[in-house]
Amino acid sequence: MRTSDVKVISEIKEWGDGDRKTFYHNLEMENGDKINIGKKKPLQVGDNINYEIIGDEGQHEYTKAKSVNPQFEANKGANVKGIEVGHAVNNAVNMICAGIELDLSQEPRNTEHKIYMYAEKVLAISDELKSRR
């Protein structure tokens, strides 16, 4: 990811209608990059943007780039982990309802604790399988 301020706006072209409207900018950045990037709102000189180069640099005057939202990227990992935990809990409940007994390190105190312990086992198995890839 690169971060820089807009130094020069060479061109802005609108494309699409309504919510789908995108403004494609040819920009010269303070860091020396010359990029073509689409944004939902027109940019102004001095705006700071986060972007990633996705085109071949040097092939065109303005290299194709895409916006990057660091907060979204950070949250994406947390969302994936949340999905994995949700699947583990669901699988634990299904195993308990099906009468499947797992070898546990201790006796569960109650049903909620048993679900927790089964889900931990499911996550451990998942992590082990991922590490083998």
Q: What pLDDT, in 10s, does the model give residues 7-34? A: 999 999 999 998 899 999 999 999 999 9
Query: Are residues 59 and 81 part of one domain?
Result: no
Three-class SS state of 132: coil
User: CATH no. for residue 22?
Assistant: 2.40.50
| The domain boundary residue, chosen from 15, 34, 68 | 68
34-38, 70-74, 96-100, 118-122: segment of lowest average pLDDT: 70-74
Instruction: Say how many domains are in the chain.
Output: 2
- Residue 76 is predicted with a pLDDT of 65
Give the pLDDT mean for 114-133. Answer: 87
Query: Are residues 89 and 55 part of one domain?
Result: no
Domain that holds residue 105: 71-131
| The domain boundary residue, chosen from 26, 44, 68 | 68
Give the pLDDT mean for 74-87. Answer: 77
H or E element in which residue 1 lies: none
Q: Can you give the pTM of this predicted structure?
A: 0.56
Nearest-angstrom CA–CA distance, 116 and 111: 9
Query: Are residues 64 and 12 part of one domain?
Result: yes
Query: Are residues 30 and 41 part of one domain?
Result: yes
45-59, 60-74, 86-100: segment of lowest average pLDDT: 60-74
